[in-house]
Structure 1
């Protein structure tokens, strides 16, 4: 099954207070519950093995809705309504993806678990973006909890996906769940560092200082030498290239987490993915600010 980019789940703007954050989270969970529930309600016998997966997913989202309502009542004093949402969040469980599974005669429990893993990865990406742009400490703290929950859910769902894969392949077959290997992260990090260094030459001292904080491959402090930038390019090409490479790296680290075969590799890949997504959000912020200045 082809994996769509998970990096398109971007918040419209920074969330400024916890109640709005809960409103967004509750909306996302309720939508996921409805979308999974539609497939869990299928009664045709041919769909039964796949329906069983969506029954589990529906129950998990129902529990998430209840937990969010309880947490919001405890922290904020009441349950959010649709009017409390600062904006409409991107759909983390798109109906179009579920429709592909529903309509295909080739769908199996493996494909259902696999799409569920993608959905929790997308949730992790979304909450990481929220954390990266949040200015309020309490918003960041609650969003970090949501991101950790998405990671934990994804880890559990990966086990179910792997078990379903082995059920298809048989116990004696090699675990070839992922056949292709991604490009070198080290090479992309090196190229991105050069792009950011070139980009920084056109920025203010404050913007350069901000870029220097971005992980996993931060910009060397001012005055510290770095490799020469071989390719001279216009600023718009440099920034566009840097954003593209930052997105590639975020996707790559998410893939690495998906491929991890032991806990330490999984935790490292997830840490790098979180840092890389936060870096991508920071670079996009700098690019947007530069564009706004150019237009003024």
Structure 2
């Protein structure tokens, strides 16, 4: 069980806590950082005129600020003072997924469900972090406090999972209204293959060869997707980067929602290849030389 929790973290904690004062200081910093990050995402969504996502991130930021206040009250009750930032001696492993947050800022296809899925993963990492510290602490007082923090984070995970499930059902219900005019992933992969063929003709050298390789792989992926996915019919009229991104999102969401191990593995493999393809298309659009 400890191994599975540790694997949620990108790296093991850089040190051990030597006092409750250090624990409260570190917990306070982590919650403050999460609140700031979600507030920044809310501002970015507001700038992009995406009120639904702005509302999601504002709520997440508010929840994290409540966690900050909770840690402060706990510190005052236990130690008679607020957490002291000066006592943070080492950085905690990343529990807030900065890479996913950057993706959210640039993606044109992100939904409230995907935003909440990221928040769930962040809380799961925080749970793993405190569980790890509790397991390795030799101080009974610190162990007990770290276990309490882990339990608190697990409660946050449960709450966010419920919100994520609601978001999924809202998005699913909206898709039901366009089901008759939906296209599947195979059809979208084939459309993307057409666009890659056109793109290849306008490229030279290594760029043309790499695009040709992606064209072959896209045709292979089209044969593997079967009848998976429901996309709006107008997605076929989008540009290659938008189609590629929509397919990435679909494979990732499909893997996350499925309970079938074989299907999850298949969709994860498709997602990995789709992500690589999307990265290439984005690099082409960012390069002045093509």
What TM bracket, shorter-length normalisation? 0.5 to 0.7
Shift of 1:14: 2.0
Once the two structures are superposed, residues 210-248 of structure 1 have per-residue CA deviations (whole angstroms, 9 ceiling, x without a partner) of xxxxxxxxxxxxxxxxxxxxxxxxxxxxxxxxxxxxxxx
Tell me what 1:178 maps to: 257
Q: Which has the higher helix share?
A: 2
Tell me what 1:109 maps to: 112
Once the two structures are superposed, residues 23-76 of structure 1 have per-residue CA deviations (whole angstroms, 9 ceiling, x without a partner) of 110110011011001012232364211111101100001111111112112211
Tell me what 1:41 maps to: 43
Tell me what 2:169 maps to: 166
CA contact (8 A) 1:36 1:55 kept: yes
**Is 1:155 aligned to residue 234 of structure 2?**
no
Structure 1 gap segments, 5+ residues each: 184-296
**Is 1:88 aligned to residue 91 of structure 2?**
yes
Tell me what 1:23 maps to: 25
CA contact (8 A) 1:14 1:135 kept: no
C-alpha distance in structure 2 between counterparts of 1:73 and 1:85, whole Å: 17
Shift of 1:11: 1.5
Describe how 1:212-223 pairs up with structure 2 within 5 A.
Answer: none
**TM-score with structure 2 setting the length:** 0.57
Describe how 1:243-258 pairs up with structure 2 within 5 A.
Answer: none
C-alpha distance in structure 2 between counterparts of 1:137 and 1:182, whole Å: 40
**Equivalent position SS for 1:74:** helix
Describe how 1:1-296 pairs up with structure 2 within 5 A.
Answer: 6-42=8-44, 43-44=46-47, 46-170=49-173, 178-179=257-258, 181-182=260-261
Cα distance 1:94–1:45, how it changes in 2: closer, same or farther (>3 A)? closer
Structure 2 gap segments, 5+ residues each: 1-6, 180-252, 263-290
Shift of 1:91: 2.6
CA contact (8 A) 2:16 2:137 kept: yes
Q: Which of structure 1's runs of 4+ aligned residues deviate more than 6 A?
A: none
**Equivalent position SS for 2:89:** coil
Aligned residues: 179
Q: Which has the larger radius of gyration?
A: 2
Structure ranking higher on relative contact order (CA contacts 8 Å, 6+ apart): 1
